[in-house]
Structures are given as structure tokens and as C-alpha cells.
Copies of this chain bind each other. A is one copy, B any other.
């Protein structure tokens, strides 16, 4: 920062970078496009975020702190724990219905960079683990409330539901009919019968 005051809102420019990466991937976005979209200078980007890869990591963390946090908040509501889990599946259905077919930044980054970048893979795994762990705890609560049979495994179901959410992120890359995504959601919720 070299002691100068920043002339932009860091969170706001990070939000813009996140949306561009989400839509177009990591390699699909040039530094020039990022700068234009973030409305900051090259020097400001380097001073504040480091390089493009470091900015991408910050954008994924910002995605965790906004999108993932919204999903976790659904799970933590009072009331029916089972309905909370169903609502989180519907949350991913909504994501897949987005007409821009941008899917999910976590799934996109996993496919594009997961096998080739250990640091990014670790961050993505942390995000998936947060979601899975929160679903598992909510399913345990559903069992305690008598909404889910005690014989079912919250560990297995939470992993399968997190996997289904990643599936919707990929499937949503096609401009599918809403009825198809509703079918996917309904079939997936069949796990919780």
C-alpha cells in the first residue's frame, strides 16, 4: 500500500473480480479485463492483492464468505432441521438455474485448477468440508427431532448431498429446462425419505 490511502473499496473490487472469475474461469479472464472490470489500476491490484493467482484465491475466499455463508445460514435456522437441509439443496438448484450458466465458482475452480494447484485445491476442499460438515450436523439434528430415521447415516447423506450440489453446478452449465432441474432436485431429496 506504500502508505497511500486506497482509492477504492477493497471488498467491492473483490466482489467484482469474484463475479468475473465465476462467469469466465481463471485462464478465461485476462489481467486487462480484470482491471477494467474492477476499475482499479495495475499498480493498485499488485499493491493490494499481489498477482492474478493471489487475487483468484482471495476471490474464492470471498465466495466462501458470501455464497457459502448464505447456504450455511439456511442450515442454522431454527425450526425443522430436515427442511433446512432440503432448502440448501434448493439453494443449489437456484444457482444452477441462473441464465448465465456460470455454475458454482468452487466447482469451476476444482475442474480448472484442482488437480494442478495444491494450495487452491486445499482451499476448495476446506469449503466443501464446511458445507458437508454443516449438512451432517443438521441431519443429526433432524434425527434428534425425529424427522429422519435413526438408521440413516448423516455422514453418507451429507457427503452425497454435497456431491449432488457439485453435480448441479456442472449440470447448470447447460441451459436446462426448469423442469429438468426440479426433477434433479426432487430425485436428490429422495435420499432423505
- List the number of copies, as a whole number: 2
Q: How far is the CB of A95 from chain B (nearest CB, A)?
A: 13
Which residues of chain B are within 8 angstroms of A155 by Cβ–Cβ distance? 183
Docked CA distance A185–B155 (Å) = 12
Question: Given B102, B156, B163, which contacts A168 in the complex, CB threshold below 8 Å?
Answer: B163
Say if the beta carbon of A69 comes within 8 Å of chain B. no
Say if the beta carbon of A186 comes within 8 Å of chain B. yes
Category for how many chain A residues contact B: 35 or more
- Known pairs A110-B171, A160-B188; list 15 more (Cβ under 8 Å): A25-B112, A27-B27, A102-B115, A111-B170, A153-B183, A153-B186, A159-B180, A159-B183, A163-B167, A164-B188, A166-B166, A167-B168, A167-B170, A187-B191, A193-B193
Say if the beta carbon of A173 comes within 8 Å of chain B. yes
Is chain A's binding surface mostly helix, strand, loop or mixed?
helix
Instruction: Find residues 89-109 in chain A having any chain B CB closer than 8 Å to their own CB.
Output: 100-103, 107-108
Say if the beta carbon of A45 comes within 8 Å of chain B. no
Q: How far is the CB of A125 from chain B (nearest CB, A)?
A: 5
Nearest 3 CB-CB pairings of A with B: A160-B187, A167-B167, A114-B173
Say if the beta carbon of A59 comes within 8 Å of chain B. no
Say if the beta carbon of A14 comes within 8 Å of chain B. no
Which residues of chain B are within 8 angstroms of A108 by Cβ–Cβ distance? 111
Which residues of chain B are within 8 angstroms of A28 by Cβ–Cβ distance? 27
Q: Are A156 and B183 in contact (CB under 8 A)?
A: yes
Question: Given B101, B171, B187, which contacts A156 in the complex, CB threshold below 8 Å?
Answer: B187
The winner among A28, A124, A163 for most chain B CB atoms within 10 A is A163
